[in-house]
Amino acid sequence: AQSVTQPDIHITVSEGASLELRCNYSYGATPYLFWYVQSPGQGLQLLLKYFSGDTLVQGIKGFEAEFKRSQSSFNLRKPSVHWSDAAEYFCAARLQGSARQLTFGSGTQLTVLP
């Protein structure tokens, strides 16, 4: 079955430190991949997406993600975290060329220490 896994339920980093959030997918073919961020009690905001081409994708708010086919991964990174980055982050995927909908990971809660 198709699935998206975020192995880290909760991550804590200090402000100014680098960040990497992990995402692995299990699909028969390379899916389209997305990262979303959710602040408490709010909807989700799209950070970035990967459809094809360059495997390093730039997004909003200084985030980037790297697609690695060999590892079935799409990890989210930020070189220097700000206190306002504290939120929950969701990785999502869907099959290319399919009308089927997004499959979400269970999310990673990010805490930023001052």
Partner 1 sequence: DGGITQSPKYLFRKEGQNVTLSCEQNLNHDAMYWYRQDPGQGLRLIYYSQIVNDFQKGDIAEGYSVSREKKESFPLTVTSAQKNPTAFYLCASSKGGGDEQYFGPGTRLTVT
When asked if residue 98 is in the footprint of partner 1 (CB under 8 A), the reply is yes
When asked if residue 87 is in the footprint of partner 1 (CB under 8 A), the reply is no
Note whether 106 and 9 are within 8 A (CB): yes
Site size for partner 1 (CB under 8 A): 23
Smaller CB distance to partner 1: residue 3 or 12? Answer: 3
Beta strands in 6-85 (DSSP E): 10-14, 19-21, 24-26, 32-38, 44-50, 56-58, 64-68, 73-78
- For residues 9 and 107, give the distance between their C-alpha atoms in angstroms, rounded to a whole number: 7
Q: Which of residues 1-60 bind partner 1 (CB under 8 A)?
A: 4, 9, 32, 34, 36, 41-46, 49
Smaller CB distance to partner 1: residue 17 or 46? Answer: 46
